[in-house]
Amino acid sequence: MPADDPTRRYVVSAAQVRLGYALGGIGAVSLIVAVLILATARPQGAYVTVDATQHEAALDRADAELRGFDVRDDGSARIDIEHAMRLVAERGTSAVNGGAAATTAAASDATTDAAATTDGATDDATTADATSDATSADASAAAPPAADGAALYAQHCVACHQANGQGLPGAFPPIANHIGDLVAADRTYPVQLLLYGMAGPITVDGTTYNGLMPAFAASMNDAEIAALLEHVLDAWGDRAVVGDGHEPYTAEDVAAERAESLTNAQVHERRMALTLP
């Protein structure tokens, strides 16, 4: 007898049985999908294992951040101030920890005092020796007979003080139309500033700065620092301020200050004692 015989009555009709099968099928599929989702989901709040490629990618990202400043078409560079500060702090710490400063300072300057300088700077781990960077090895290995001040400026100073020497108001003071006054006030002060850096509030052209000027004792040798100072005097017309009486900086001038072994706070004290226009 056919199932849909109208004379017979069933507790469950044929249509309901089909519906039951359909619902059961949907339920089974949903269950499988749910199990798959659970099986492939990342565990929440737990560590996810990474393979070597992912690890390298993460390192690359961190590395890219270290070089994180962009150079505009006109040759000036732009860098986030906090990023710059952090960068200096990080480089300083790693250089001191790795002992790189001791080797490169001694190599870059063959005076017995170089090592003493570095020791002194190490006492003030976060600041005094803040600039020993990856380039220090290059600087000492390939110290040119005549150092190129413009190239050194582009390498070591431009990120903060900008290609036009104007700095960034409130963050990095200008060097243009300022270095001449500093040299005229005391020719040894700019040498100490570059060797040991500076920390503490200063005022330039009515703007207050309270940042960290990095130390370059470990990343430039004496001839390089001398050449760099002569370059910044020329670059924006500051030589007119110091006049003809100015004796060009020599490696010997820098060596004499390197022997002083100051902290960046002592450089700030010297700065405060200067009489500037």
* C-alpha to C-alpha distance for 91 and 86, rounded to whole angstroms: 9
User: Is residue 170 within 8 Å of residue 207, measured between CB atoms?
Assistant: yes
Q: How far is the CB of 209 from ligand HEC (least distance, A)?
A: 4
* C-alpha to C-alpha distance for 204 and 229, rounded to whole angstroms: 18
* C-alpha to C-alpha distance for 235 and 227, rounded to whole angstroms: 12
CA nearest neighbour of 120 among 274, 268, 265, 269: 265
Rg of the Cα trace of the chain?
A: 33
- Chain-centre distance for alpha carbon 164: 20
Q: How far is the CB of 268 from ligand HEC (least distance, A)?
A: 6
Q: Which is nearer to ligand HEC, 172 or 196 (CB)?
A: 172
Could you give phi then psi for residue 241, rounded to 5 degrees? -70, -40
Q: Which is nearer to ligand HEC, 193 or 255 (CB)?
A: 193
Q: Which is nearer to ligand HEC, 44 or 275 (CB)?
A: 275
For tokens 């600039």, name the residue.
131
Q: How far is the CB of 43 from ligand HEC (least distance, A)?
A: 42
**242 CB-contact burial (10 Å; exposed 0-12 / middle 13-18 / buried 19+):** middle
Q: Which is nearer to ligand HEC, 35 or 150 (CB)?
A: 150
Q: How far is the CB of 120 from ligand HEC (least distance, A)?
A: 19
Q: Which is nearer to ligand HEC, 161 or 258 (CB)?
A: 161
Q: How far is the CB of 229 from ligand HEC (least distance, A)?
A: 7
**115 CB-contact burial (10 Å; exposed 0-12 / middle 13-18 / buried 19+):** middle
Q: Which is nearer to ligand HEC, 99 or 169 (CB)?
A: 169
Q: How far is the CB of 78 from ligand HEC (least distance, A)?
A: 13
For tokens 């890219």, name the residue.
64
> What does the binding site for ligand HEC look like in residue numbers (CB under 6 A)?
84, 88, 156-157, 159-161, 172-173, 175, 179, 182, 193-194, 198-200, 202, 204, 209-214, 216, 228, 232, 271
Q: Which is nearer to ligand HEC, 106 or 182 (CB)?
A: 182
User: Is residue 69 within 8 Å of residue 77, measured between CB atoms?
Assistant: yes
Q: How far is the CB of 39 from ligand HEC (least distance, A)?
A: 50
